Amino acid sequence: MLDVRNLTVSYESTPVLKNLSIYIGRGEIIALTGPSGSGKTTLLRCIAGLEATDSGSIWMHGEEITKRPAHLRRIGLVFQDNQLFPHLNVAENIAYSLKLQRVAKNERNHKVAEALELVGLAHLAKREIVRLSGGEAKRVAVARALVAQPEVLLLDEPLAGLDGELHHRLLDDLGSLLRSRATTTLHVTHDHAEASAIADRVLDIRELASLGDV
Amino acid sequence: MILAYRRAAPWLAVVPVIGMMLFVVAPALNIFKMSLRFESLKILTTQTTRNVVWFTSWQAILSTILVLFVALPIAAITSNFKFVGRRALISLVSVPFILPAVVVGAAFLEILPGSLHRSSLAIIAAHVYFNVGLAVRIISTRWEQIHPYLDDAANTLGASTIRTFLTVTLPLLRTAIISASLLVFIMCFTSYGVVRILGGPARSTIETEIYFRAMQLGDVSGALIMSVLQILVIGALILLVTSTRRSKNRHSKNSQKFGQSVYSRLRNPRSIAQKIFVITIASVSAVAVVAPLVSVATRSILLREKLDTTAWRSVLSDSTIFSSLMTSLRYALITVIISTTIGLLGACAVVYGGSRYKFVSVLTALPVVISAVTLGLGIIITFDVSPIDWRGAWLMMPLAHCLVAIPIVMRVISPVLRDLPSGLRDASRTLGASAWQMWRTIDLRIIRRALVTSAALASAVSLGEFGASSFLVRHNNETLPLTIARLLSRPGDLIQAQAYAIATVLIVACAGIIAVVDRLGTREPGF
Amino acid sequence: MNRKSIRTISLLLVMVTVTVAGCANNTTTSTVPSAQSSDANSATSSTPNEEVTLTLLAYDSFTPSKNIFDAFTRDTGIKVEVALGGDAGELVTKATLTAGNPQGDVLWGVDNTLLSRALEAELFVPYATSNLADLDKTALALVANNEATPVDTGDVCINYDVKWFADRKIPPPLTLRALTSSTYANLLVVPSPIASSPGLAFMLATIAEFGQDGWEEYWKQLRQNGVLIVDGWTEAYYTEFSGSSGKGERPIVVSYGSSPPAEMIYASPVPKTVPTAVAALTCYRQVEFAGILRGTKYLREAQLLIDYLTDVAFQEDLPLTLFVYPVNTKARLPVEFVKYSLRPESPLQLDPQLIASQRIVWLDMFTNIVLR
């Protein structure tokens, strides 16, 4: 399904990822752990098409997408800090990708309502982004990414900064949501407990670099 | 920056760069070239020049000092106390700044006794009135960011309110005060409309001297030398302003980037002394702002001390006044369209193109350095050879308005565009937006308010522009400020009342513009 | 993507262009219908059948009788639109700045103090009017090659408020020298020579009277004696002067030799005696010219207009509307005009060449002595 082969990325000639390879099968949920600064976010941004690569390739469904622009990849990304659009309300944020796809208004409203229902925020449709709590904002971010029906969903530390009860509840909800929809997912976290709670497989980024590297 | 945006930068820069090169750089170079060609550099050493430069300088210095004296107490109450009408007061003191200079001149003609007309005092008073709002805005923006606990700390260490102000607040406000004073100084130094109206034949700033020389004496070479002198002085001052601003920015980098600071300084005035202070300053400044404006409106409906609407009726029926009204509106529309378009393109080029496109922001800021009067003069002496013999083209006047407005548009749009978190663009891309869709749904949407604000300010610039217009006006395209100036210089109660009626129209328009700008600025947190 | 953004930009530009162009059309149609039609017809302008509108540029106080150009239009089919453009100095400057690409076809109101500037800038196309033989010879002498055509003459003189001096039993000032006497301290108001043509004429009068060595000292004394300098003639005469309709306080003013008849003819009720009078020895002769602006599309029509402006009918209208003397010797003067106005025998005058070379220097000196 998603196949990353020998990816190397560097920032201003400092290598961030070296010869990294990873394979994710259809419907699989993979958690990727590693200390901060180990390039987890960079990997997600490369897969999403937001970052240029030095060498290596990215394949999806057997097609190479290394040079494909981000908006044509159908890969969803839930940012660590959500990046909800401050000029749009909750429902408008979720409807964003549907509008780009020119989905008819009725259908769009229907899908947004469905997504809101799914993440349990039906009552907040008209709320402004700045008035959301941390947990609510994260749910909106997930809903926004899912509505675009991505082939692969990338989650960047989705539960960072949420503590205790909220963390648990969101983790449960997220797990059952992804599983029920059979969404192919790459979940990045530094929390091993979180990783093993949600994922089919847990990988450490430090083990993904193939041996005999540069 | 997103690759597609970076690739678009050169295309975005094309029109602003060509426009500025053609209408600002070329005329300015031409002025330099021609002023050197004329062997009249000796004008720099004449008594006249010394007098003009001396008057221009000392009135600007004195005006600036007075502005600070008036602005500090107002900034003190608006950035320290909660009170009813606080926002309204900030808006109100800003109104004079966007009023046409000729209107401010007219207002002071009306409120000052006849013995003070044509005096330096009248000019300085008008300059203070004009610029207090600017200083209040700059100073209070910084003051509001000062953590209130700092004052508390000083208090607990035994400092009185006044000592706290002198030892803690004032040093922290220093950079804001410096950049405010330099800006105000430049405004007063290059003052034109106010001096034309209030100065009479005896008082001349460099800016009005350029006009007198070129348009009334027919001494174009003398005017050119004056222009060069002016460009050099303002250029040096602007460099000074930008360098202090840069150090100020470094200073406040660690303050929060978005939204207001978490701790608000605003408290309810508690002690009697505080209450008296707030009430006095607020009411005195409100009255001081409004009184001249009311007197303008009053003058327009009084003839020989009796209520009389003849002036207003004649304004509506007089074909020349009506046609200047239409000309003003048409030029304002053109200015809004062209200057926001060019400003938007320029701001995008600067922000998307990265450091290599910094020259675009320098280019678009040039009209500030060069001053409106010089722009007008430069355009006339540059576009006088076929195939670009445009001296007579009516479009030159709204174009000059655009040039004056573009730096303002850039200053309003650029920061918003620059501060737009790039993560939003990433998010939009992962949701399937092409570069163009992303620009439309993220960038454009988020700068929409800034665009409306800049359009409002551009229309104010055009409605009030007097300096360049006085060079470029032809017999059939007088705008309202020019009409006011013409009518004011003629005798007769009715004619004067007509001038004040037009001034009233412009006051109402400017108050409306400030209301639009401030509403947009305060609504909705974040953007 | 890139191409798309380019396309959008070009779209925006097209929008702007269209809007501006739309506005351009509006301007020409709404404010100057004549200008547009003349532009449109320019290619084939010279055929007499087509309707031509000439634009006559003039100073703000150009106020001939209302329908004065009707006869011209009836005879020639040419319409005349009068466009006012500030005081005489500004008018000439604007014309100079647009020399060769003029805002109008004919310009009215260059006087002999400004003439040198206009000729230097080659503002006009020379034309010898059909009325040449009837025109004042001294006036014609100023334009040897018919670069411009004299249209009227007048005198700039000290005027005083007769009643003011009679009430106080003070003799009125009769010479320029008298004005520096303490008797007349704080009584004189003068329009600035920088912006106004009578102001300039008065300054030239003092130079003619006291010479290039003496005039500066004279103005220093005038300043000590409390002379008031104001922007323009209208302000001096109507606002600061006590003898006219204004509520001014100063009884001595620089105005025209023909100002007294204006006070009589246009006052209601007509006063029993003339309220103002002229000091004959202080007068400076002004000659005003009209010229065909170089670059006009209607040369032939403009020539016809110059002929009309110097024709008896138009010339006879001038005394009572512009308060100047006709330059056409065949024109008759209205009785009341002759009765009240003063025509000095030997007015003060300066060599036009000298004015041309020294004007700016003198004005700078004036500014330093009197204004600063």
- The closest alpha carbon to B459, from B190, B187, B16, B100, belongs to B100
Contact B201 C96 (CB under 8 A): no
Tokens encoding B261:
């600071």
Contacts of C116 in chain B (CB under 8 A): none
CATH class of B1-37+305-527: mainly alpha
Closest Cβ–Cβ partner in A49, A83, A144 for B423? A83
The yes-or-no answer to whether C47-153+287-326 and C155-286+344-371 have a common fold is: yes
Question: A: neighbours with 3+ CB pairs under 8 Å?
Answer: B
Best to test chain C binding among B437, B474, B475, B490 (most C CBs inside 10 Å)? B475
Cross-strand pairs, C250 = C241
Give the gap in angstroms from C-alpha B365 to the nearest C-alpha of chain A: 29
* Among the partner residues B55, B218, B489, nearest to C96 by beta-carbon distance: B218
Structure confidence by residue, pLDDT tens digits, C179-207? 999 999 999 999 988 877 889 999 999 99
Query: What confidence tens digit (pLDDT) does each residue in A32-53 have?
Result: 998 888 888 999 999 998 888 8
Full-model pTM: 0.82
pLDDT at B524 over 50: no
Confidence of residue C89 (pLDDT cuts 50, 70, 90): confident
Contact criterion met (CB < 8 Å) for A101 and B430 = no
What residues of C are in contact with residue B491 (Cβ under 8 Å)?
234-235, 237-239, 246
CA distance A76 to chain B (A): 6
By CA distance, what is C199's nearest residue in B? B201
Test mutation, B6, B430, B527, chain A, max A CBs within 10 A: B430
Average pLDDT, chain B: 85
Looking at the partner chain, which of C1, C32, C238 has a beta carbon nearest the beta carbon of B435? C1
Strand boundaries in chain C, DSSP class E: 52-58, 78-84, 106-111, 124-125, 149-161, 188-191, 228-230, 252-256, 276-293, 325-326
Segment B95-105 shows an average pLDDT of 92
Distance CA C100, CA C290 (A): 16
Q: Helix, strand, coil % (nearest 5) of chain C?
A: 45, 20, 35
DSSP lists the bridge partners of residue A32 as A188, A203
Q: Do the Cβ atoms of C322 and C337 come closer than 8 Å?
A: no
CB neighbour list of residue B367: distance below 8 Å, 6 or more residues apart: B24, B375, B403, B404, B406, B407
- CB contact under 8 Å between B201 and C16, yes or no, is no
Do B476 and C83 count as a contact with CB atoms less than 8 A apart?
A: yes
Per-domain residue ranges of chain B: 1-37+305-527
User: Rounded distance, CA A16 to CA A38, Å?
Assistant: 7
Give the best residue of A51, A73, A85 to mutate against chain B (max B CB count within 10 A).
A85
Q: Is B384 on the interface with C (CB under 8 A)?
A: yes
**In chain A, which residue's Cα lies nearest the Cα of B424?**
A83
Instruction: Note whether A58 and A64 are within 8 A (CB).
Output: yes
B432 and A101 in contact by Cβ < 8 A?
yes
Contacts of residue C351, defined as CB under 8 A and 6 or more positions apart, other chains included, come to none
Name the closest residue on chain B to residue A81, using Cα atoms. Answer: B423
The predicted model gives B252-260 an average pLDDT of: 39
For C55-73, the pLDDT digits (tens) are 999 987 788 888 899 999 9
Token readout for C114 is 């400004």
Q: How far is A84 from chain B (nearest CA, A)?
A: 7
Q: Taking the CA atoms of chain B, what radius of gyration do you get in angstroms?
A: 24
Neighbours of A207 (CB within 10 A): 9
pLDDT band at A161 (very low <50, low <70, confident <90, very high): confident
Using CB atoms, which residue from A72, A83, A97 is nearest to B426? A83
Q: Rounded CA gap, A144 and A128, in Å?
A: 15
Chain A hits for B421, Cβ within 8 Å: 83
**Mean pLDDT, to the nearest integer, of B183-199?**
90
Whether C54 has its CB under 8 Å from any CB of chain B: the answer is no
In C136-186, alpha helices (H) = 137-141, 162-168
The CATH homologous superfamily of the domain defined by C155-286+344-371: Periplasmic binding protein-like II (3.40.190.10)
CA nearest neighbour of B136 among B296, B290, B292, B289: B289
Residue C36: per-residue pLDDT: 35
CA angle, residues C230, C236, C239, in degrees to nearest 5 = 110
Q: What pLDDT is stored for residue B130 in this prediction?
A: 93
User: Is B180 a residue whose pLDDT tops 80?
Assistant: yes
Instruction: Show the domains of chain A with their CATH numbers.
Output: 2-207 (3.40.50.300)
- Give per-residue pLDDT as tens, B116-150: 777 889 999 999 999 999 999 999 988 888 887 88
Confidence check: pLDDT of C31 > 50: no
Which contiguous run of DSSP H or E holds residue B248?
helix B220-252
The terminus-to-terminus CA distance of chain C in angstroms comes to: 64
Residues on chain C touching B380 (C-beta within 8 angstroms) = 97
How far separated are the first and last CA of chain A, in Å rounded? Answer: 27
Q: For B119, left (φ over 0), alpha (ψ -120 to 50), or beta?
A: beta
| Cβ contact C246:C211 at 8 Å | no
Answer whether B441's CB lies under 8 Å from B428's CB: yes
Q: Give first-to-last CA distance, chain B, whole Å.
A: 20
Contact with chain A for residue B526, Cβ under 8 A: yes
Tokens of C116: 């040198």
Domain range C47-153+287-326, CATH architecture: 3-Layer(aba) Sandwich (3.40)
List CB contacts of A42: < 8 A, sequence separation 6 or more.
Answer: A9, A16, A17, A51
pLDDT tens for each residue of B395-446: 889 999 999 999 999 989 998 998 888 889 999 999 999 999 999 999 999 8
Residue spans of the domains in chain C: they are: 47-153+287-326, 155-286+344-371
- What residues 465-484 of chain B have any CB closer than 8 A to a CB of chain C? 474-477
Nearest-Cα distance to chain A for B435, in Å, is 8
- pLDDT attached to residue C268: 67
Distance between CA atoms of A92 and A125, rounded to whole angstroms?
Answer: 8
pLDDT, residue B42, reads 67
Q: Which helix (H) or strand (E) holds C13?
A: helix C2-30
- Residue A110's pLDDT is what? 94
pLDDT band at B251 (very low <50, low <70, confident <90, very high): very low
